[in-house]
Amino acid sequence: MEYRNYGGTIYLRADRGDEIIGCVLDVCKKEGIGAAVFSGIGGCREAQVQTFLPETGCFETRTLTGMLELVSLTGNVVTSDRGDLYHHTHAVFSFKKGDGHEVAAGHIKSVTVLYTAEIELRPVKEGLIRRQFDPETGTGFWCFPEAGRAPEAKRGGTSEE
């Protein structure tokens, strides 16, 4: 992985074998970013795609393998009250299956790079976004504290935890 900060936006290149979500969270930690949005494209070899099932309150996970075109990756990073970083990421992949092409999409737990992935990370400026647990759904949602400073970012979990 390599990244650069140009004008407050971070451009990240993930390389063969890198796990994209881990790279994004590592950059946020290194740069002291408590909230951000990101997007990207690339060529991947494995992805854990999830669907949230409200009736059970759990995620169903499907693992995709092979040459996966990362057509679209979009997500965000926020900080919990404890200072842990959380991501909420969705993606669309295209891949060849037999003589045809297929598409799979959903919530992303992890994505491993085959060739490269190019990610644009845009930190939130002049504001604070946190993650707040919602007991009704069993997931976390954005909340906007009125005042206060974000705790120092630490590497944390994912939105399904």
Task: Establish if 155 belongs to a structural domain.
Answer: no
Task: Establish if 159 belongs to a structural domain.
Answer: no
Whether this model's pTM surpasses 0.75: yes
Number of domains forming the structure of the chain: 1
Task: Establish if 149 belongs to a structural domain.
Answer: no
- Domain span at 8: 2-143
Task: Establish if 59 belongs to a structural domain.
Answer: yes
CATH number of the domain at 128, please: 3.30.1330.80
Q: Which of 56-70, 84-98, 110-124, 141-155 has the lowest mean pLDDT?
A: 141-155
Q: What is the pLDDT of residues 123-141, one digit of tens each?
A: 999 888 888 888 877 777 8
For the chain, counts of helices (H) and of strands (E): 1, 8
98, exposed or middle or buried, with CB in 10 Å at 0-12, 13-18, 19+?
exposed
137, exposed or middle or buried, with CB in 10 Å at 0-12, 13-18, 19+?
exposed
Point out which residues pair with 105 in neighbouring strands. Answer: 92
Confidence of residue 152 (pLDDT cuts 50, 70, 90): very low
